[in-house]
A = this chain, B = another copy of it.
Amino acid sequence: MTSSAATKSELPVFEDVRAAARRIEGHAVRTPLLGSPALDEKLGGRLLVKAEPLQRTGSFKFRGAYNKLSQIPQAARANGVVAYSSGNHAQGVAAAAKMLGIPAWIIMPKDAPVIKIARTKEYGATVVPYDRYTEDREAMGLELQAKHGATLVRPYDDPDIIAGQGTIGLEIAEQCGALGIAPDAVIVCCGGGGLVSGTALALSQAMPDVPVYSAEPKDFDDTKRSLESGRRESNDPKARSICDALLAATPGEMTFALNKRLLKGGLAVSDDEARAAMATAFLELKLVLEPGGAVAVASVLSGKYPIKGKTVVAVASGGNVDPAQFAQVLGA
């Protein structure tokens, strides 16, 4: 790579998360930890939801993107950034790029939610469509990178991205501390694994006794199976899920190296369980969740993680869902 902001090859450490928190402060939203006493009564436990739909761009992805892009040297910024993304990383990178005055090319699947494509364009990024099931987005990214001399911003296998997402873990620890709560578990939505690995990295020092779990769609439970087998497993290429944000084929190299060491285990939920969690978040939390953003909450509501008598923090990772799909979920 010729870019002066090439991806670092070493795994991030706790201090990288602290540095990321300093970089994003005042730019990212410090999202609240929401709860519903009525829901807790039904569950017989306490569920706290870290509400990343309330983050800038509607998902956690802005954290990592801003942490990464703000470190690109001035001289390299004019050459722009390239990213591939199912939609939330796209918006995170596009928004951070706009704030920092950096041109952005974003490779997005043709079947991404309309809202995600529209928003990415609104931030001024150039959207390059691809077929999620037949084209290689990584190859397309490298080609664009070479053509423009741009910086490639990987969605998860990048220590700056992982450290940025990990700021959520620091905030969870601080917010639980303020509430006088020591949670029994923290459950985090997982696609490529950037969010859960960063969060677990932060919590490994900020709340070292709290077990952290990944939550995935049932047929995209590669991280769960990889944690069980000890090596990076892949999903069936024919698998489909409504959780468009979590369809990575296999765990990232870096993210799995961290997750293998830091996670207690993996949970998986069906699309129907994700839909039910979206409906419950609407009714009880008044919070809009997208399908992929709902799987951690779903893993609690469906009983995959039994909450009775316990306190659990679930990270709701995003809320970028098309109105028509949301309406359908409410009608179900």
Q: Which residues of A are in contact with B by a Cβ distance under 8 Å?
A: 29, 32, 34-38, 51, 53-54, 56-58, 95, 115, 119, 122, 279, 282-283, 285-289, 319, 323-324, 326-328, 330-331
B38 & A56 in contact (Cβ 8 Å cutoff): yes
Q: B residues within 8 A CB of A58?
A: 286
A330 & B319 in contact (Cβ 8 Å cutoff): no
Q: Given the interface contacts A38-B56, A38-B122, does A323 sit within 8 Å of B319 by beta carbon?
A: no
Q: Which residue of B lies closest to A325 (CB)?
A: B330
A324 & B331 in contact (Cβ 8 Å cutoff): yes
28 contacts between A and B (CB under 8 A): A29-B35, A32-B54, A36-B56, A37-B95, A38-B56, A38-B57, A38-B119, A38-B122, A51-B286, A53-B286, A54-B286, A54-B287, A58-B286, A115-B283, A279-B323, A282-B323, A286-B287, A286-B288, A286-B289, A287-B287, A287-B288, A323-B331, A324-B331, A326-B327, A326-B330, A327-B328, A327-B330, A327-B331
Q: Given the interface contacts A326-B330, A327-B330, does A319 sit within 8 Å of B286 by beta carbon?
A: yes
Q: B residues within 8 A CB of A122?
A: 38
Q: Which of B53, B283, B285 contacts A323 (CB 8 A)?
A: B283
Least Cβ–Cβ distance between A288 and chain B, in angstroms: 4
Q: Which residue of B lies closest to A318 (CB)?
A: B286
Q: B residues within 8 A CB of A288?
A: 282, 286-288
Least Cβ–Cβ distance between A174 and chain B, in angstroms: 15
Q: Which residue of B lies closest to A115 (CB)?
A: B283
Q: B residues within 8 A CB of A119?
A: 38
B282 & A326 in contact (Cβ 8 Å cutoff): yes
Q: B residues within 8 A CB of A287?
A: 54, 286-288
B56 & A285 in contact (Cβ 8 Å cutoff): no
Least Cβ–Cβ distance between A312 and chain B, in angstroms: 18
Least Cβ–Cβ distance between A266 and chain B, in angstroms: 26
Q: B residues within 8 A CB of A54?
A: 32, 34, 285-287
- Of the listed residues A34, A35, A287, A319, the one surrounded by the most CB atoms of chain B closer than 10 A to its CB is A287
- The CA of A44 and the CA of B199, in the complex, are separated in Å by 35
- The CA of A324 and the CA of B53, in the complex, are separated in Å by 22
Least Cβ–Cβ distance between A3 and chain B, in angstroms: 28
Least Cβ–Cβ distance between A284 and chain B, in angstroms: 8
Least Cβ–Cβ distance between A96 and chain B, in angstroms: 12
Least Cβ–Cβ distance between A254 and chain B, in angstroms: 29
B53 & A37 in contact (Cβ 8 Å cutoff): no
- The CA of A330 and the CA of B51, in the complex, are separated in Å by 21
Least Cβ–Cβ distance between A110 and chain B, in angstroms: 22
Least Cβ–Cβ distance between A316 and chain B, in angstroms: 9
Task: Add 15 more A-B contacts to A38-B95, A54-B285 (CB < 8 A).
Answer: A29-B35, A32-B32, A37-B56, A37-B95, A38-B56, A38-B57, A115-B283, A282-B323, A287-B287, A287-B288, A323-B330, A324-B330, A324-B331, A327-B327, A327-B331
Q: B residues within 8 A CB of A326?
A: 282, 327, 330
Q: Which residue of B lies closest to A57 (CB)?
A: B38
